[in-house]
Structure 1
Amino acid sequence: MSQCKPGMGVCGVALLLASSVALAEDRPLFEKFELERLDLNPGAAGSLLIGTGELLPAGDFRFSSVAHYQHNPFVVSRSGKATPIVGSRATMHLVAAYAPFSWLELGAQLPVVMLQTGANLTEDNIAQPASRGLSTPTVSARVGLLSQQAGSWGDFALEMGVGPPVGSAPGFARDAGLRYAPRLMFGRHFGWFRVALESRFVVRPKVDSYDDQDSALARDTIGSEAQMGLALAMIGQRTRWELDLRASIPLEKQPSSVELFLGPRYLLNPSVEFFALAGLGSGTAPGTPLFRVLFGASFGRVVPPRLPDESSVTCSPELDHTAEECPDMDEDGDGVPNGQDMCDDDAGTPERQGCPWTDIDKDGIEDKLDACPAEVGVAAWKGCPMPDADKDGIEDGRDVCPSEPGPELSRGCPLKDRDHDEVEDDVDQCPDLAGPKDRQGCPESDLDRDNIPNVLDTCAKAAGPAENHGCPSHEVPLVWLTRQKIELMEKIFFVPGQPRIDSRSFPTLEWAAKVITEHPDLPLIVVGAHTDDRGSAVDNLRQSQARAEAVRQYLIQHGVAPDKLEAKGYGQSRPIDSNATSIGRENNRRIEFVIVARQ
């Protein structure tokens, strides 16, 4: 049998009879066979040509119209010379797919030969092929067995396709009987691309070969064959490229072929997609052109499904999409990708995971950190209101009488008359020592006889005027005694960032120790340490407690009985000035000596 010259794109099987009269009497001029070898992927999930194992989502449909040109799809050896029986062929493919269920996809294809030309072999008694006509339609059912989107390692599907003997026999567009095409498909997503592999068996009526020595034409057998396909395709982009490889392996005594395709597809909107493919062919099997070009459009639900961590092809400012569909975009332009942005619609900062600084209840605590964003609260309680059942301003955890309002100096209990001197505690200057009303409840005790009761006399053992707080005129007291506190004339300073007392505060603390030791009748004194709001509330609370302990220890070392003192760190929970200014913050950083009555 004669062979085609190397380098021919498609050569091989002639389905025309020899020109001799004797041969014509034995065989018809045209034996029925389908020249078209290309079938499209109806659902076009992942690839336009190769089945990827991925099905359309349930309820989705897709309709495609594809223009297709082939060059030299049918070439035979004529007296040792390659002759194109079909030199050019233009076809219109109408393709549809519908998924009634998530596991089932139905497909249909209808090729129509629009224009076909070939060599004039009338001198060999061979008529030219019909220039147009209907080609073999096919219907298919595809069943999905595995789905990567459902959590499997990849996508796997089975398909059965059937082509009835319908079409134009004079146009090489019809088989002599039914064509069956079972197919196995497997695919998987890898980051920004997809790999797919398919195996297809085409079972169709056999056309026997012959090689008549008296004939100028020679042809091979046409029959069943196995087809393999490999696809590499981009995903997650509005413009996607794919590379397809198709090869045929004969199951009869017939030639093989290989074709390579490359082309883009572009999503115009969620309902319309344009695409184009160009391919080169090698081999002598009929229907394998030297090259072919396809371009077309698809309509319906053309946005491909995606995995949860993948971007949708609709991720473009011109197309509708959600932030979840496009994790790599930045919808609000704050520099934080959608996949990491906790506030997709509001521009924020990377430090706040894309959210803006908000404070709905205006309590100075950011809503993101506020456990009670709609209620004014304090930092010590994570933005929630301080629990205070009796509303006396003392949190229930410190309130000795949580159901009865009372002042801080009595630890939240109501003031009455603890010393039974008929002077109410709220006006009694000496609530723990009985005294007459004309002395505001203080006893007559006045050791230095300066007419200032000991409980209000800063220098109880040395006479002095009231304007100098009971101390001699030549002395300048650094503290003075009041009913509620031992007031400090100067701040207590610490080594920055440490609980260690700065030496310049020693004189003030020595005065405090002197006053406490000279007044043995004083009740419990709470050494309170406070900070501003810089830094975390937890760290500030820890630092203030350490500083209060340091002051208490210093006073003990200077003669104060330990049971007279209690150290309490309040952190930033009790500001006396605004933390918005440096002066305010400085005022908030303080040590206080509060006189608290024992229970």
Structure 2
Amino acid sequence: MRRRELLHRGLALALALTSTAAVSQTVLPNFELERLELNPGAEGSLVVGMGELLPAGDYRVSLVAAYAHSPLLLDLDGEAFTIVGGRATTHAAVAYAVTDWLQLMLQVPMVFQTTGDLADTGYAAPSAFGLGTPTATARVGLLTQDEAGGVDLSMELGAGLPVGSAATLARDSGMLRLAPKLMVGRHFGFIRAGLEVGFMRRLRQRITQISSVAQDQIGNELRIGAAIATTGRRLRWEMNVRGMVPLTDQPGAAELLPGVRYLVNPTFEMFAMLGVGVGSAPGTPLFRMMVGGAYGDATPRRGPGESSVNCEPGLPHTLEECPDMDEDNDGVRNIADRCPTVPGDVARKGCSAQDTDGDGLEDMLDACPFEPGLAANQGCPLRDADKDETPDETDSCPNDPGPADNRGCPVRDTDKDGIDNDKDECPNEAGPPERNGCPESDSDKDGVPNRVDSCANEAGVSENKGCPGHVQALVEIRPGRLVMLGKVFFEPSQARVLPSSFGPLDWVARVIKEHPEMPLVVVGAHTDDRGFPADNRRLSQARAEAVRQYLISKGVPSERLQAQGYGQDRPIDTNATSIGRENNRRVEFIVVDPEQEKAGSPRQ
């Protein structure tokens, strides 16, 4: 009795010190009381992350109803002081895997009922109904266990949005609540285990102003969770332990939460949990219970070393997925049953003394009991994957159709020019390798290919460069250039072409016009080394332009000609003699290869 009087006096004194006016009740400060956190993806545990993520594109939507008994108790001189005696909430959660390594999650709690005996405390009771603190979370997968071993490892960052109801004790004061976590898990056959470690950032404050009450401190804390769960069955069990290590003066706490889950169908799961709390940290209940359901991609994946959940009766599955089942209930497991969907005899390896495919072999002796085939082929049909009427066993190219006389392979060189069809630009016409398998062009049909025919439009003989015998060809076509028989002469130190050069230049114009396969011809002019280099380059450029203009006047399209003066930079003979200098003073006609031009090859 004496202690209760001291408690009342202490509360009254706190009210007097903290109130600015004489009021009978004090409102509790803003803070989030709820400690229940769901694992929205929930492939391993309902409340503890095990490093797992949903497969890319999968989703899960959960709805949970929960009750926490006495989540907020204060103790003064050995007597319990009840702030919240009971709290009923619902939690909606959704998880969606954007990729195999990124999962987005959202949890939205709602408070539906809050009870407590505050009649003698001087504090106003919290509101019974209100929105909790929604939490948005992103989880990133770092490692994934596979058949070779390893672990599931992921990290996540959660943010508690400051939109909850302060009057319902469902919102922290003054700041965005952040909660980074690191999670690791592993499959051990039909058992899955995991551990998570997280940090909760929240404002440090007191719930009451009574200095002698030590349990009402809240602030930053470490949150640790561990879980063990069964796998591979529609009915699964799990055991979770969630604890809090305070980073302020508040006391620590832990909850033991066993749970059960049942997969109703591939898209719906029901679950329930009932557990107890240890410790007096605000938000830790004496006991907690919850029930709920999840919709979406609710069937867990088959992990390394696990059996498939789909092998449970009533769930769709494949024979390969469940090798240990006996699909036709004939006493022979699927993995050893030659006829897994038709009841048979153990002595016949699961087959009956019947001929299902009607090919004359009973099923136990038939390697292909559902496809008619030849006895010589153990009852299987002759396979012909490419449908070329050559059986695969004698087909050298079983995936590419071809004639039987070519061993079932396609004809690789249709035109017999030594170049395979996939590299032959003209697979139906024989041609040399230098033309990528295409035949030589011969416009005048004189047997001299256009590429060396100086008279491409007039029949001639090869000895005369493809021109008729009575015509003297003044231009020879060589690889990459036109060689003029004779020189181009200019007035001394001038760019004017002398008339004596008109004849050979007329032949150059004729050849260019008759050979459209020459898209660009560079007119290159050169000088000897007498004089200044800059003057020589200007003179050679002017002479190249003069020749180009002459060829244009003879009908050559301007876009097919380019003038280039090189001056004295590219001699072909010595400049120490008059004959050498004469040879260096020259005009060349370079045929530009379009393919080399695209590849950036230098012009000669």
Q: Please report the TM-score for the alignment, with normalisation by the length of structure 2.
A: 0.56
Change in Cα spacing, 1:321 to 1:42, as seen in structure 2 (3 Å) is same
> Residue 119 of structure 1 corresponds to which residue in structure 2?
117
1:483-528 deviation per Cα after TM superposition (whole angstroms, max 9, x unaligned): xxxxxxxxxxxxxxxxxxxxxxxxxxxxxxxxxxxxxxxxxxxxxx
Q: What is the distance in 2 between the residues matched to 1:187 and 1:94?
A: 25
Structure 1 residue 281 corresponds to structure 2 residue 277: yes
**Gapped runs of 5+ residues in structure 1?**
4-15, 386-599
Structure 1 residue 168 corresponds to structure 2 residue 165: yes
1:382-412 deviation per Cα after TM superposition (whole angstroms, max 9, x unaligned): 7899xxxxxxxxxxxxxxxxxxxxxxxxxxx
Matches within 5 A, 1:455-494: none
| Larger displacement relative to structure 2 (320-329 or 164-173) | 320-329
Change in Cα spacing, 1:343 to 1:58, as seen in structure 2 (3 Å) is farther
> Residue 248 of structure 1 corresponds to which residue in structure 2?
244
Contact 1:358–1:366, Cα closer than 8 Å, also in 2:
no
State the one-letter code of the partner of 2:234: R
Contact 1:154–1:188, Cα closer than 8 Å, also in 2:
yes
Match of 1:314, SS?
helix
1:94 Cα offset (Å) = 0.6
State the one-letter code of the partner of 2:101: W
Matches within 5 A, 1:189-200: 189-200=187-198
Match of 1:22, SS?
helix
> Residue 144 of structure 1 corresponds to which residue in structure 2?
141
Match of 2:162, SS?
coil
State the one-letter code of the partner of 1:24: S
1:413-440 deviation per Cα after TM superposition (whole angstroms, max 9, x unaligned): xxxxxxxxxxxxxxxxxxxxxxxxxxxx
> Residue 128 of structure 1 corresponds to which residue in structure 2?
125
State the one-letter code of the partner of 1:224: N
Say how many residue pairs are matched. Answer: 364
> Residue 201 of structure 1 corresponds to which residue in structure 2?
199
Change in Cα spacing, 1:369 to 1:339, as seen in structure 2 (3 Å) is closer
1:171 Cα offset (Å) = 1.5
Matches within 5 A, 1:38-437: 38-78=36-76, 80-121=78-119, 123-149=120-146, 151-176=148-173, 177-208=175-206, 212=210, 219-307=215-303, 310-350=306-346, 353-356=349-352, 360-362=358-360, 366-368=365-367, 374-377=373-376
Match of 2:367, SS?
helix
Change in Cα spacing, 1:369 to 1:135, as seen in structure 2 (3 Å) is closer
Q: What is the distance in 2 between the residues matched to 1:363 and 1:29?
A: 88
Identical-residue share of aligned pairs (%) = 48
1:446-488 deviation per Cα after TM superposition (whole angstroms, max 9, x unaligned): xxxxxxxxxxxxxxxxxxxxxxxxxxxxxxxxxxxxxxxxxxx
State the one-letter code of the partner of 1:106: L
1:246 Cα offset (Å) = 1.0
Q: What is the distance in 2 between the residues matched to 1:138 and 1:332?
A: 49
Contact 1:220–1:253, Cα closer than 8 Å, also in 2:
no
Contact 2:226–2:241, Cα closer than 8 Å, also in 1:
yes
Change in Cα spacing, 1:82 to 1:104, as seen in structure 2 (3 Å) is same
Match of 2:310, SS?
coil
> Residue 21 of structure 1 corresponds to which residue in structure 2?
16
Q: What is the distance in 1 between the residues matched to 2:285 and 2:313?
A: 41
Match of 2:32, SS?
coil
Q: What is the distance in 2 between the residues matched to 1:327 and 1:134?
A: 49
Match of 2:311, SS?
coil
Q: What is the distance in 2 between the residues matched to 1:102 and 1:278?
A: 32
> Residue 491 of structure 2 corresponds to which residue in structure 1?
none
Contact 2:28–2:208, Cα closer than 8 Å, also in 1:
no
1:56 Cα offset (Å) = 0.9
Q: What is the distance in 2 between the residues matched to 1:210 and 1:113?
A: 22
1:212 Cα offset (Å) = 4.5
1:537-584 deviation per Cα after TM superposition (whole angstroms, max 9, x unaligned): xxxxxxxxxxxxxxxxxxxxxxxxxxxxxxxxxxxxxxxxxxxxxxxx
Change in Cα spacing, 1:324 to 1:363, as seen in structure 2 (3 Å) is closer
Contact 1:239–1:266, Cα closer than 8 Å, also in 2:
yes
1:369 Cα offset (Å) = 9.6
1:282 Cα offset (Å) = 0.4
Higher-Rg member (1/2)? 1
1:271-308 deviation per Cα after TM superposition (whole angstroms, max 9, x unaligned): 11110000110001111000000001111110011136
> Residue 392 of structure 1 corresponds to which residue in structure 2?
none
Match of 1:101, SS?
coil
Contact 2:189–2:304, Cα closer than 8 Å, also in 1:
no
TM-align CA RMSD: 3.1
State the one-letter code of the partner of 2:44: G
Q: What is the distance in 2 between the residues matched to 1:202 and 1:308?
A: 33
1:348 Cα offset (Å) = 4.0
Q: What is the distance in 2 between the residues matched to 1:34 and 1:41?
A: 19
Q: What is the distance in 2 between the residues matched to 1:179 and 1:117?
A: 26
Change in Cα spacing, 1:150 to 1:28, as seen in structure 2 (3 Å) is farther
State the one-letter code of the partner of 2:164: G
Q: What is the distance in 1 between the residues matched to 2:75 and 2:168?
A: 20
Change in Cα spacing, 1:323 to 1:153, as seen in structure 2 (3 Å) is same
Contact 1:108–1:139, Cα closer than 8 Å, also in 2:
yes
Contact 1:185–1:197, Cα closer than 8 Å, also in 2:
yes
State the one-letter code of the partner of 1:132: F
Match of 2:180, SS?
strand
Match of 2:243, SS?
strand
Q: What is the distance in 2 between the residues matched to 1:199 and 1:115?
A: 31
State the one-letter code of the partner of 1:245: V
Q: What is the distance in 2 between the residues matched to 1:384 and 1:236?
A: 36
Q: What is the distance in 2 between the residues matched to 1:151 and 1:354?
A: 33
Match of 2:17, SS?
helix
> Residue 521 of structure 1 corresponds to which residue in structure 2?
none
1:199-250 deviation per Cα after TM superposition (whole angstroms, max 9, x unaligned): 111111111588746x7x5544211111111111111111111111111111
Contact 1:146–1:154, Cα closer than 8 Å, also in 2:
yes
Contact 1:18–1:124, Cα closer than 8 Å, also in 2:
no
Change in Cα spacing, 1:295 to 1:209, as seen in structure 2 (3 Å) is closer
Match of 1:166, SS?
coil
1:374 Cα offset (Å) = 1.9
Q: Please report the TM-score for the alignment, with normalisation by the length of structure 1.
A: 0.56
Change in Cα spacing, 1:327 to 1:362, as seen in structure 2 (3 Å) is closer
Contact 1:17–1:126, Cα closer than 8 Å, also in 2:
no
Higher relative contact order (CA 8 A, sep 6+): 1
Change in Cα spacing, 1:17 to 1:239, as seen in structure 2 (3 Å) is farther
Contact 1:71–1:89, Cα closer than 8 Å, also in 2:
yes
